[in-house]
Structure 1
Amino acid sequence: MEYGRRRRGRLLRIGGRSIAWVVPLLLLVGIALADFNTAEQFRIISWIVLVPGIAAAICGVWTTAAFSVVSVMTYVAVDSAWPNEYRAGFPDFVLVAVGGLLATLAAVVRVRRERETLHIQDIAETTRRTVLRPLPPRWAGLEHAGVYLAADVDARVGGDFYDIQPSPHGARVLVGDVQGKGLGAVETAAALLGTFREAGYHEADLATVAARLETRMSRHRTHTTALGRYDGERFATAVLIGFPEDGTDAIEVVNFGHEPPLAVGPHGVRELPSGDGVPLGFAELADGLPPVHRVPLGADETLLLVTDGVTEARDGPGVFYPLVHEVDRAVGADPRRAEPRRLVRRVRDGVLRHSGGRLDDDTTVFAVRRTTNGVGEAPERGRLRS
């Protein structure tokens, strides 16, 4: 709704000024001229009731009220210009007057609802920026790019999440997807991110960070269930990645049942360890937490992480989006497409094109790779951190 309102606003503006009033004005003039230039058997002056109705849809309250008054005055002037036997008469005058009044009231309701929508959108944007906080382009020795597309375009926020946390032990990255939708999923994502930002900074061992996330998920479910909300079965898939500062081209990966990360480079695409662990919140059903895999990642490779909104996007016949094939083909044609921004843009556009713009689930695409310029390195112990 908000997107349509803003898009309409752009279409009806020239040089920053609104020209919405031109549309009802042209309609008013057109009806008056047509009535003057048609035979007496074809009186259309009463159609002028459409003018305030159009104004109510695209103009402000005062503009709509002005067109209501002008429409009544124009009706009286045009109708009086004919001989008595050809006048539309008092009933149509009442129609135009009442129509203008109702149009003005409709404009009041429309403007009020648009303001409420703007307020709700501001709240949603604030929530989104709290959950998915803005990150510098180069942060903690990493170059990254990310895009989040909510299945609910009005809400603009859902259960997908990602973040980078610098630490004295190397940069940590978390990408995940909370089961379900709505505010419950957003609350769960915020809880997990809060724990990640603290544990990811303080804990030297990535396995300990993973354990803290599992504990937070369990505590959050217990709390929401005690409040009488049915969150007892909520879980989250996630990938936790550590970039150690040991001078090697290796990373550490803990996969909580999430889509496997992809290493994308000039030599093609390879799949990193898959979701061999259960999602966050289900550790008690397994033999423990997922293992920490240490895998190589070349300096010229970009790590691509997506949520299931990408891999489960379908086209008209129901075919899933071929992520690995599309990325491999794109990078093979131009190795520069492995850069995080280009890679994210390529996957985003490919998913939207494949699904025809219809997203059934929240969709996140996140790409990250090491940078060698030292911008945004992790702080040392004892220093203030952001």
Structure 2
Amino acid sequence: MEYGRRRPLLRVRGRSIAWLPPLLLLVGIILLDFNTGEQFRIITWIVLVPGIAAAICGVWTTAAYSVLSVVTYVLVDNAWPDQYQAGFGDFLLVALGGALATLASVVRVRQERQVLHIRDIAETTRRTVLRPLPPRWAGLEHAGVYLAADVDARVGGDFYDIQPGPHGTRVLVGDVQGKGLGAVEAAAALLGTFREAGYHEKDLATVAARLETRMLRHRSHTAALGRADGDRFATAVLIGFPEDTVEAIDVANFGHEPPLAVGPRGVRELPSGDGVPLGLGELAGGLPPVRRVPLAADETLLLVTDGVTEARDGPGEFFQLVREVARAVHADPGRADPRRLVRRVRDGVLRHSGGRLEDDTTIFAVRRADTGGGPGAGGEDHEQGRLRS
């Protein structure tokens, strides 16, 4: 077993072949040395073999190639007449090169383990902020995908969640201004408040007020710590699925991208409202109103962050979300299904931007399920509702 748990760089049908390039180089040097005259001795090039192994193989494989290179050098060099031998100085070069290659492999594998550990921490943080949700939860069917602009970070300020409760099911989708751990902290603070207030509070406006207060408290705390990100804010959409009707939803929009209602009859943009982001309510003299808007039972609610609408192609043209979704649904009304809809938007954004995302991107789709599911509905599979990013 190689030193450290790592994913081999070269794989064929699930098996590592990282050992093959150094072996081919070793054989090639031996054959070339035997087939050239005494004026062209290249056996000392065998020092490259452990160097290549150090770049793509594990520590023990690199050490094995280092020893094999030294042994091969001695055997091949002694196969020539005395006047053609490369000499003891080149032997030391090969031996020292192998030792340094093994040391370099140790350093590289340790760094890889550290990076994997950091990525595991980031993944745990992401799963804490964006907790796994059953695909059918509290009478809703949903799907979501999160794409980090930094592919190694895997975590950012975008967030979404569903909270069932005695007063109906609530949904929150948002985007914290800025990046890094500070944005993650703010997102986690807002989600914690949403999960409590969304369950206990009867009035959706009260939930909105609790979110605004939490954002202000979080900003006050970070400012007291002397951090430079004490002025963060967050755009968000707070949605309530009332129990007294299945043909409408309650929406409070905090400066976020307006939701889209996607159904067999096409795509329509819900009112965006005139709200300002969370944390800036005092600038507008109050919170945005809660509006009741129609949403047919066969329509899917599509919510995205600005990573979607601001995605650009090579010439700088923005991704046309409404046009692309309308075209897809017109060709196949079944694409209004949350999972298919999220997958379509995800693939469209990545194709449009060439895979180069300028901002964290969240795509979330939700609709009323065909059959009312309680909080435990669909609980046997907690990962189906979240597509792999």
Q: TM-score, normalised by structure 2?
A: 0.93
Paired residues of 1:167 and 1:378 also in contact (CA < 8 A): no
In structure 2, C-alpha distance between the alignment counterparts of 1:105 and 1:239, rounded to whole Å: 53
In structure 1, C-alpha distance between the alignment counterparts of 2:317 and 2:93, rounded to whole Å: 55
The change in CA–CA distance for 1:378 and 1:276 in structure 2 (over 3 A counts) is farther
Match of 1:116 among 106, 111, 114: 114
Q: Are 1:202 and 2:200 matched, yes or no?
A: yes
| Counterpart residue identity of residue 151, structure 2 | V
Secondary structure in 2 matching 1:183: helix
Q: Are 1:276 and 2:279 matched, yes or no?
A: no
Tell me what 1:156 maps to: 154
The change in CA–CA distance for 1:320 and 1:185 in structure 2 (over 3 A counts) is same
The change in CA–CA distance for 1:125 and 1:72 in structure 2 (over 3 A counts) is same
Q: Are 1:94 and 2:97 matched, yes or no?
A: no
In structure 2, C-alpha distance between the alignment counterparts of 1:47 and 1:12, rounded to whole Å: 27
- Measured after TM superposition, the shift of residue 85 of structure 1 is 2.3
What is the number of residues matched between the two proteins? Answer: 373
- Measured after TM superposition, the shift of residue 43 of structure 1 is 1.6
Tell me what 1:337 maps to: 335
Q: Are 1:178 and 2:176 matched, yes or no?
A: yes
Tell me what 1:382 maps to: none
| Counterpart residue identity of residue 167, structure 2 | H
Tell me what 1:9 maps to: 8
Tell me what 1:241 maps to: 239
- Measured after TM superposition, the shift of residue 95 of structure 1 is 1.7
Secondary structure in 2 matching 1:260: coil
Secondary structure in 2 matching 1:357: coil
Paired residues of 1:239 and 1:258 also in contact (CA < 8 A): yes
Tell me what 1:347 maps to: 345
The change in CA–CA distance for 1:10 and 1:170 in structure 2 (over 3 A counts) is farther
Tell me what 2:257 maps to: 259
> For 1:218-248, what per-residue CA distance to the aligned partner results, in whole angstroms no more than 9, with x for missing partners?
0000011111112222100000000000034
Tell me what 1:43 maps to: 41
- Measured after TM superposition, the shift of residue 374 of structure 1 is 1.9
Secondary structure in 2 matching 1:35: helix
In structure 2, C-alpha distance between the alignment counterparts of 1:147 and 1:276, rounded to whole Å: 27
In structure 2, C-alpha distance between the alignment counterparts of 1:378 and 1:115, rounded to whole Å: 38
Paired residues of 2:9 and 2:18 also in contact (CA < 8 A): no
> For 1:291-322, what per-residue CA distance to the aligned partner results, in whole angstroms no more than 9, with x for missing partners?
11100101110000000000000000100000
Tell me what 1:128 maps to: 126
Tell me what 1:300 maps to: 298
Tell me what 2:188 maps to: 190
- Measured after TM superposition, the shift of residue 35 of structure 1 is 1.0
Tell me what 1:84 maps to: 82
Tell me what 1:370 maps to: 368
5+ long unaligned stretches in structure 2: 378-389
| Counterpart residue identity of residue 237, structure 1 | T
In structure 2, C-alpha distance between the alignment counterparts of 1:10 and 1:373, rounded to whole Å: 47
| Counterpart residue identity of residue 108, structure 1 | V
The change in CA–CA distance for 1:206 and 1:378 in structure 2 (over 3 A counts) is farther
In structure 2, C-alpha distance between the alignment counterparts of 1:172 and 1:180, rounded to whole Å: 25
Secondary structure in 1 matching 2:8: helix
Paired residues of 1:52 and 1:65 also in contact (CA < 8 A): yes
> For 1:195-230, what per-residue CA distance to the aligned partner results, in whole angstroms no more than 9, with x for missing partners?
000000000110000000000000000011111112
In structure 2, C-alpha distance between the alignment counterparts of 1:377 and 1:245, rounded to whole Å: 14
Secondary structure in 2 matching 1:231: coil
| Counterpart residue identity of residue 308, structure 2 | V
- Measured after TM superposition, the shift of residue 60 of structure 1 is 1.4
> For 1:159-218, what per-residue CA distance to the aligned partner results, in whole angstroms no more than 9, with x for missing partners?
000000001111100000000000000000000000000000000110000000000000
> For 1:336-380, what per-residue CA distance to the aligned partner results, in whole angstroms no more than 9, with x for missing partners?
01100000000000000000000110000000000131223489x
Q: Which range moves more in the overlay, 302-311 or 23-32?
A: 23-32
